Amino acid sequence: MNIPRKRKSLALLFFGLALNFFAAAQNSYQYTVDLTKAADDKLTVNLVTPAIEKNEIKFYLPKIVPGTYMNSNFGKYVQSLEAFDKAGKKLPVQKAGDNGWTIRNATRLNRLNYVVEDTWDATIKNMVYPMCGTSFEAGKNFVLNTPGVFGYFEGMREKTFQLTFTKPAGFFAATGLIPASSNATQDVFSCSNADHLYDSPIMYSLPDTAIVRVGKTDVLIAVYSPKKMATAHFIAQNLQNLLLGAKDYLGGKLPVDKYAFIFYFNGEQPKLEVSGAWEHSYSSFYSLQEAPEKESIGYWVSIAAHEFFHIVTPLTISSKEVKQFNFNETVLSKHLWLYEGSTEYYSQHMQAWTGIITPEEFLASMAQKISYSRSAMNDSLSFTELSKESAGKHAEQYGNVYMKGALISACIDLRLLELSNGQYGLRQLKHDLSINYGKDKYFEDDSLFSMIEKLSYPELTPFFKDHVEGGQPIPYEKYFALAGVSYIASETYQDFSLGGLKLNPNPEGKVTVGIADVNDFGKKMGYEEGDILVSFNDSLVTNANLDNRIDQLFDKAKEGDVLAVKVNRKQPDGRMLEKVLQAPLFKIERVRKHLLRFMPNPTAEQLRIRNVWLNNHAPVAAAMK
């Protein structure tokens, strides 16, 4: 499955040179970056500029980029920007805000150069999501999210951008871009405008790649995993099912000819505060903590599914705010329920629909979203208002787009299936919307709901009014019941417990006990505040293995089995003393909240919707398992 590294023919090289010449005549941006000269996590960027017709011009790096819903301020990472005329004479440059520079005598402008620092290691006070940021590790790896490296001139974002990289020996460019030319030391890429440029991340490193062919689409999987804990081959094997499923889910064909999953696994940088991924039209870039692939593949597949489905929303169906994206002002659409919410819903629903996960696992993932959105988020905030202000006053509610946003989509899907007798759901609606708008046409934010009602059912109006524009919490019991699924807000059950302890990691990697909410079993055991766990029934306990140990402990436990917990307890004189606490196990009453469960005796109507919703009779599901 590895891509053989081919020597490019002379003819192709020549074509590359010819293209250079042609591009110059076309008045494009011509960027060159020498990756072999990176030092201190910085790169020098050279630009031969297109001809400027104004005497004064602004040069920008983006303040915000599509799909991020926060201000990144990439201009803050640029240092010592200089402008020159053809004779090499310096032109006056003045900083204009965080992300811009004003260049005077600009009609004479011929080239710019600047130094750019990577966002992952920079010490300046600013926050860029790692999956949208940059990392320049000389000789190892370069994460080039292009908005963090390249800029554009005001009013000139429609010109061609040509990028020439000089690369270290053996390095490979993982990207959705198709190189204009490539040889052992240099790659040249061309982007048709600034939107295309910023939609195209590139990662350079020694290659670990695989290709999956899905119908007519070639999908590249490229991996950088410094400790070799993750491999392109293994991820490709696991993404294959997902991509075949996605093809069926989207009606039998993937909407792109080429796609690249670019995975960076962090095993050598300080731990990144956030891990995640950023979607693009022909690729997605992942910044994840390095971990054993067999343990983490489920999570990686889910996040890959989410990013992949972004090719539908917002990359095909979106409003003016997205399609005519303003890189230098924060103007957001109010339909994050569609861009992020329905994408997240697709990523989970599609896995159930094709049999990659079980229907129960799917319900559990939806229930978790209800729980999170009701316990940690404001469930009464208008969702359209949250979207508009997700980079501003509602930034702390942004996480809800993956929770309630997905649930809004689930409810619309179920309601449509009800109204259409199982004939028309969210998949059909999004298909119709993408035909109606397509990649090059946007909708006005205010017209989306009426367009949906026109394409599908006007009966959706109250749902949009009350639960998407309005702040009324969604009555989940009503919507999930359509498919014979009960929503249970809270229920009690009997189960074993360690004692109702608060378990906190301590600096030595052990676990400290808190007894504020200790239950009857905990009282029997006789824990004291500050006890440090040593072992459960002679199996040593650390913070790292705690969850596993608890699972093992209760897996086969019976009433009356004796639980022995060894703890270290601080004595009045400060010494630590080992103590064994023990008691026969008994079950205690516990509470669980926000559950979704299949009704054991659904009506024929409910069963019919459930079967369509979960594709219960699909031959695909059997083939995929």
Q: Which of residues 83-122 bind Zn ion (CB under 5 A)?
A: none
> Which is nearer to Zn ion, 131 or 452 (by Cβ)?
131
> Which is nearer to Zn ion, 187 or 340 (by Cβ)?
340
**CB 578, min distance to Zn ion, A:** 50
* Residue 134 β-bridge partners: 144
> Which is nearer to Zn ion, 305 or 612 (by Cβ)?
305
**CB 112, min distance to Zn ion, A:** 33
Phi and psi at residue 555, to the nearest 5°? -55, -50
Q: Which of residues 329-368 bind Zn ion (CB under 5 A)?
A: 340
Q: Cβ of 580: how many Cβ atoms within 10 Å?
A: 11
Contact predicate 337/311, CB 8 Å: no
Q: Cβ of 200: how many Cβ atoms within 10 Å?
A: 23
> Which is nearer to Zn ion, 208 or 321 (by Cβ)?
321
**CB 140, min distance to Zn ion, A:** 28
Q: Determine the size of the site formed for Zn ion (CB under 5 A).
A: 1
Assigned token pair, 240: 């294959």
DSSP state for residue 123 in the 8-state scheme: -
> Which is nearer to Zn ion, 211 or 395 (by Cβ)?
395
> Which is nearer to Zn ion, 234 or 372 (by Cβ)?
372
> Which is nearer to Zn ion, 48 or 303 (by Cβ)?
303
User: CA torsion 572→578→579→580, rounded to 10°?
Assistant: 170
Q: What is the largest CA-CA distance in the chain?
A: 90
**CB 279, min distance to Zn ion, A:** 6
Strand order in the sheet with 141-144: 134-137, 141-144, 202-205, 172-175
Per-residue interface string for the shown chain with Zn ion, residues 286-325, x marking contact by CB under 5 A: ----------------------------------------
Nearest residue (beta carbon) to Zn ion: 340
> Which is nearer to Zn ion, 277 or 563 (by Cβ)?
277
Assigned token pair, 265: 């696994």
User: CA torsion 332→336→339→343, rounded to 10°?
Assistant: 150
**CB 567, min distance to Zn ion, A:** 44
Distance CA 461, CA 430 (A): 17
**CB 200, min distance to Zn ion, A:** 17
**CB 87, min distance to Zn ion, A:** 48
Per-residue interface string for the shown chain with Zn ion, residues 379-398, x marking contact by CB under 5 A: --------------------
Cis check: omega of the bond before 473, within 30 degrees of 0: no
**CB 278, min distance to Zn ion, A:** 8
> Which is nearer to Zn ion, 179 or 314 (by Cβ)?
314
Terminal alpha carbon distance of the chain: 22
> Which is nearer to Zn ion, 118 or 344 (by Cβ)?
344
**CB 312, min distance to Zn ion, A:** 11
**CB 306, min distance to Zn ion, A:** 6
Long-range contacts of 419-428 (CB under 8 A, 24+ apart): 419/456, 419/457, 419/459, 420/456, 420/457, 421/608, 422/608, 422/609, 422/612, 424/456, 425/612, 425/613, 426/342, 426/345, 427/249, 427/250, 427/251
> Which is nearer to Zn ion, 159 or 427 (by Cβ)?
427
Assigned token pair, 340: 């992020």
Distance CA 485, CA 367 (A): 11
**CB 594, min distance to Zn ion, A:** 23
Distance CA 266, CA 287 (A): 7
> Which is nearer to Zn ion, 38 or 406 (by Cβ)?
406
**CB 390, min distance to Zn ion, A:** 12
* Residue 437 β-bridge partners: none
SS3 356: coil
Phi and psi at residue 179, to the nearest 5°? -65, 140
561 CB contacts (<8 Å, ≥6 apart)? 584, 585
**CB 399, min distance to Zn ion, A:** 12
H-helix segments, 472-576 = 476-481, 520-525, 546-555
> Which is nearer to Zn ion, 173 or 366 (by Cβ)?
366
Distance CA 69, CA 547 (A): 34
What are the residues binding Zn ion (CB under 5 A)?
Answer: 340
